Amino acid sequence: MGLEEKLPSGILLTTVEKVAGYSRARSVWPATFGLACCAMELMSTGGPRHDLARFGMERAAATPRQADLMVVAGRVSQKMGPVLRQIYDQMPEPKWVISMGVCASSGGMFNNYAVVQGVDHIVPVDIYLPGCPPRPEMLLDAIVKLHDKIENMKLGDNREKEITELEQAHLRRLPLVVGSRPEEPGD
Ligand code: SF4
C-alpha cells in the first residue's frame, strides 16, 4: 500500500499502473516455503535446468519481509496453519499466493482432521496449480500467468472500481447446484 493507492483515476494513474505493473511483474521475490514433497519440484524449478532466474525470481527470500510471493508447496497441517498465516502477514503489500499441488489446494488425498482442506482457508490464493506433484514446467506456467495478473493490476480508484465490479459479478453468478439451472430453449 503506497502513494499510488491514493492517486485519482485518469491518464496519470493509467500510466503509473502500467509502469508499476511492468516493474512488479519482473521483480517478484518468492519466500522459501516448502511444506512437503511438492517442495522438491519447487526447488528443481530454481535449478539450472528450469532456471527461474529467467523471470527475475532467483532470489528466494529467507525472510518474509523481503518477499512478495508465497508458493505453498505441499500439504498444510493444522499445526502449520497459524505459522503460515503469520508469515503471510509479515510479507509487505502487494503480495501474491500460489497454491502448488492438490494437497495445498484442497487437502488432496489427505482427507482427515490433521490437514487443512485447502490453504485458501488461511490465506487468499491467486493461482491454484493442480497435480501431484506439479512438474516444474507447470509451476513456471503458473508463474507466467501470475505475472500477467500482476502486470494488469489496477491501482487507486481504478482498483476500487474493479473490486466493486467483481463483487457484483459474483453476486450475479448462479449457484452450481443440480436442478437450480434456469430452463433454456431446447431443455
Ligand atoms: S500434491 Fe502430491 S507431491 Fe504435492 S504435497 Fe501432496 S502428495 Fe506431495
Q: Hey, whose CA ends up nearest to atom 5 of ligand 1?
A: 74
Distance 27 CA to ligand 1 centre (A): 28
Specify the pTM: 0.81
pLDDT at 146: 92
186, with CB counted inside 10 A (0-12, 13-18, 19+), is: exposed
Query: Residue 180's pLDDT band (boundaries 50, 70, 90)?
Result: low
pLDDT at 165: 83
Q: Which of 138, 151, 48, 55 is nearest to 96 (CA)?
A: 151
| Per-residue pLDDT at 167 exceeds 90 | no
pLDDT at 8: 63
Specify whether the CB–CB gap between 64 and 87 falls below 8 A.
yes
Q: Work out the mean pLDDT of the chain and round it to a whole number.
A: 84
Q: Hey, whose CA ends up nearest to atom 2 of ligand 1?
A: 132
Residue 102 CB–ligand 1 contact under 6 Å? yes
